[in-house]
Every structure is written in structure tokens, then in C-alpha cells.
Chain A
Amino acid sequence: MSRLVASELFKLRTMRFTWGLLAGAVGLAGLGTALNISVFVKLLPGLDLGSEAGLHSLLANGANASILMVVLGIVAVAGEYRHGTIAQTFLVTPRRGQVIVAKAVAVAIAGTAMGILAASLSAAVTLSWLVTHSIPIQLPAVAIVLFLLGGIAATALAGVFGVGLGALFRGQVAAIVMAVVVEPLVEPLIAQWLPALGKYLPTSALGALIGRAGSNLLPIWAGGVVYAAYALVLVAAGIAVTNRRPIT
């Protein structure tokens, strides 16, 4: 299994796309946090950015990378269909389930790395701004680290979620549009109709894990459990479908 993961990590490393996404993730985290600060300062002068709520809304920017990781997960699988490398992959490893699992692990590793980088940048921007403006930080360091860990877990799990989607629907563009555009648009509508169900839907669960502000969200840990369950179910379904798919 470890050589399969090594092969999948190598594939990610040798795609320009991966590095573009990484740059995007870092940009989203850094710029997002800075923009957020300036918007809050201008529009909500009463908001204490050193408070728990203030810190959470700023630090959650680190996990903006999670949406990009969904895309990377999709591309890691569906991209092989698109570029016609999937047959070669399955010829080397005819047990297709092992390939999908290795992809999920590799993308989770990439997501963890990306998440750490993005979270660190977001924290650095947030904390240095607060310190230079002499605003007291009202959360203990442990609480801040735990909050950031949630975002890093979200980024890693989002990659696994994407791998499941990519295995299930090998059309790369369709899968990306569905995951990144359609689902997040449809979900709030469902949540309005059925508020009790809404918080269990994927984007809401992911938002809870990241620690986004919102009234109808699960606690952080529960969001993590629910989102992880989505990711694992998608991967399992993706394996089942992949095993039956003719590779022509």
C-alpha cells in the first residue's frame, strides 16, 4: 500500500495543477484574512477582533483551501480518465479499490500539508495584526491551535471527499461544477425547507468543522464526524462503481 501512496503522491507532485492550487490556497488564506480584517474594521467597528467570535471568523480563512482540495481530489481520479492514464494505472494495480484508497490517502496528506500552510498564514496575519494594534487576544493558545486543527482536518477530509466524487463521477468538469457550485447553492435551499436536516448536509458539516460563523451549524466535533462520514461513504461508493466500470 505504501508504494501505491508514494506513486499517487508522485503523480500529484508532477502535476502543475497541484502547485497552482497550493498557491491559490495560500493566497486565499492570506489575502482572505487580510481582507476580512479590513472589512470588519470598516463595517463593524464595534466587533472585537480579539474576542472568540472575532478570532474564529478570521482564523476560519485558513480553511478556505478546503474547497480547492475537493477539486484536487476530483482531479486526482477523474483527471486520469481525462488524460487516458487510468488504464495504465489499473494495469499496474489491477485491484482498483487499492488505487482509490491510495489516492484518498495521498490527497489527505497533500491536504494536511496545504491546510497547515494555509492555517499558519491565516494565524500569522491575524495575530500580527492584533498585536500591532494592541488588541488583547482573548483565547488561550491551546484553543487557537485546536481551532486551526479543525480547519486542517477539514482541508484533508475535503480532499478525500473529492477523491470519492472523482471515482464516482469520472467526468472531471461535471464533478467539479457539482461539488463546488451546485451543491453549495442548493444546500441552503434545502436547509430553509428542512432546518433540522440542513446542518447535516456536507457543506454545512464542513463549515461547522472549519468553525464558520452560523446559527444552524453542528458543533465543531460533530461537523467533523458528519463530514468524515460523507467522505468515507463517497470513497466506498466510488470504489464499488470503479470496480464495475469497463476501462475502454
Chain B
Amino acid sequence: MSVVFRSVTKRFGESLALDGVSADVRAGAVTALLGNNGAGKSTLLRVLLGLVAPTSGSATVEGSAYRDLPHPTRTVGTALEGAGFHPSRSGRDHLRMLARAAAVADNRVDEVLDLVDLAGVASKKVGSYSFGMRQRLALAGGLLGGPNVLVLDEPANGLDPRGIRWLRQFLRDFADRGNTALVSSHALAEVAVGADEVMVLHRGRLLAHSPVDEMSSGRRGLEESFFALIEAEPDGRM
């Protein structure tokens, strides 16, 4: 298993953000992490990436904690929601500064800019970018190291329909090469088309983890199944 969560619990003061989440995310598949806002999706991904320390439990990528990976960016590519940019820096310079720290050659910067279709505006300041362009720049940053695991937090936010279709195809090809994609989303419709597996997180607990066609089969589509799961919870209000 390439990404493993073992009883991950995270408390922020009184509130329980994650409650004993265990899951094996398999390689060769696109796994969608679904949940309402505040379900704990971002926190779970941040625990995996070593940005937030779990109160208990552990999360590993290819057998080791993120911070112990010898070349983190070559193993795991990330684009997190709320990734920011210095407004007076160009898109290319933003990637160059990351590339330098990651020991990635500068020509790779132009490759990923091409890949996310930002080559034309690469020397413009990020301050002038639209939200969708920033999303693509964040994704480009995640791709710099040529990783075999991708962890994306709400990557479809701000993308236009063409961008979403591109992202879906990109993740498909990525997973089909045997790589692992873990993608959080609160937009169910996008995921039903693109993902192989679904994890449903609600109030910090993992309610389901199954192949997407299993979950969306039968009379109910993915959306109905999702709400059925959540509403079956004792305090299952939205």
C-alpha cells in the first residue's frame, strides 16, 4: 500500500478533528476523499504530509513518515487548498524557488508550466493570476519532482469545465501508470466520473472506503449513497 493511515486522531483543543482514521490507499487508483466542509479532509491530508502532528496514530507514504522521506518532492506531489503565492513573484520564479530547494533542474519548471498550460503567463506576476490559474500553478508545483504519489486538496476548485476535464484525464493517466492519487473534494459529481475509490469522511470519522461503482451502484447514485451514510450517523445533521 502506498499511503497508509493508522488510527489517526487529531484534537484541536476541545474539538476532535480526526477520530481514529485507518485506511490503505492503493496504488494504481484515483482515490477520492469526500466529505462536507469541516469533515476533516484537509486535516487528514496535512497529517499525512507532516504539516500537522496527529494527537495519536500515524500516516505513512511508501512505508515512511513524510518528514523521513529522503526526497519528499520526488515521492509525493502535493497541491493544498489555500496554497499561496507571493504576489510580486512570477509564476516561473515561484516554481524555480521550489525547484532549487528540491534539487530539481530549472528546465523541469518549464515542463510543468507547459503541462498545466501556464507557459504563456509564466513570467507574469502571480498577483495578476485568476483563481483557476493559481490552482494550476499549485498543481505544477506538486508535479515538479515527478512524484509517484499525488495528494491534492480540492484541486478542482476554481477550474473551468475544460480544466476539470483535463485534471480528470491527467489523474486517470497518472493512476494507470501505477501511481497513487489521493484527491479531496466536496464536489461529488466531479468525483463520480473520475475516481476509482471513494473514502467518505464525516466529522473526523471514516464512514466508508470502497470502489466508486460499488458505492454508486443500485438505485442510488453516489450522491444519494453519500447522504444516506452521513444521515445514518447519530448526530448526522449537516
* A92 to B98 Cα, complex, angstroms: 7
Closest to B10 in A: A246
The answer to the question of A95 belonging to the interface, with a C-beta cut-off of 8 Å to chain B, is: yes
The answer to the question of A219 belonging to the interface, with a C-beta cut-off of 8 Å to chain B, is: no
Instruction: Determine which of B52, B66, B100 lies in contact with A247 in the assembled complex, contact meaning CB atoms within 8 Å.
Output: B52
How many chain A residues touch B (CB < 8 A): the figure is: 27
| Binary contact track B61-77/A, C-beta < 8 Å → 1, others 0 | 00000110100110010
| Binary contact track B26-61/A, C-beta < 8 Å → 1, others 0 | 000000000000000011001001111100000000
B51 cross-chain contacts in A, Cβ below 8 A: 87, 90-91, 246-248
A3 cross-chain contacts in B, Cβ below 8 A: 100-101, 103
Interface of A is mostly: helix
* A85 to B87 Cα, complex, angstroms: 11
B93 cross-chain contacts in A, Cβ below 8 A: 10, 14
A17 cross-chain contacts in B, Cβ below 8 A: 88
Instruction: Determine which of B66, B89, B103, B141 lies in contact with A88 in the assembled complex, contact meaning CB atoms within 8 Å.
Output: B141
A4 cross-chain contacts in B, Cβ below 8 A: 101
A84 cross-chain contacts in B, Cβ below 8 A: 82-85
- The contact sample of 26 A-B pairs, CB cut-off 8 A, is A14-B86, A14-B89, A14-B90, A15-B89, A79-B86, A83-B86, A84-B83, A85-B84, A85-B94, A87-B51, A87-B82, A88-B83, A88-B98, A88-B138, A89-B101, A90-B50, A90-B51, A91-B49, A91-B78, A92-B72, A92-B73, A92-B102, A94-B67, A246-B46, A246-B51, A247-B52
| Binary contact track A1-32/B, C-beta < 8 Å → 1, others 0 | 00110110011001111000000000000000
A248 and B52 in contact, given A3-B100, A88-B98, A93-B101 (Cβ under 8 angstroms): yes
* A14 to B98 Cα, complex, angstroms: 13
Cβ B88 vs Cβ A15 within 8 A: yes
* A83 to B98 Cα, complex, angstroms: 15
Instruction: Determine which of B72, B89, B97, B138 lies in contact with A94 in the assembled complex, contact meaning CB atoms within 8 Å.
Output: B72
Closest to B126 in A: A83
Closest to B138 in A: A88
Cβ B88 vs Cβ A94 within 8 A: no
A15 cross-chain contacts in B, Cβ below 8 A: 86, 88-89
Cβ B66 vs Cβ A10 within 8 A: no
* A94 to B87 Cα, complex, angstroms: 24
Counting chain B CB atoms within 10 Å of each CB, the highest count among A3, A83, A94 belongs to A94
A92 and B83 in contact, given A247-B51, A248-B52 (Cβ under 8 angstroms): no
The answer to the question of B23 belonging to the interface, with a C-beta cut-off of 8 Å to chain A, is: no
Cβ B67 vs Cβ A95 within 8 A: yes
Cβ A10 vs Cβ B82 within 8 A: no
* A221 to B94 Cα, complex, angstroms: 40
B46 cross-chain contacts in A, Cβ below 8 A: 246-248
User: Which residues between 71 and 108 of chain A lie within 8 Å of chain B, taking CB atoms?
Assistant: 79, 83-85, 87-95
Q: How far is the CB of A15 from chain B (nearest CB, A)?
A: 6
9 new A-B contacts, CB < 8 A, other than A88-B98, A94-B67, are A3-B103, A7-B97, A15-B86, A83-B85, A93-B72, A94-B50, A246-B51, A246-B53, A248-B46
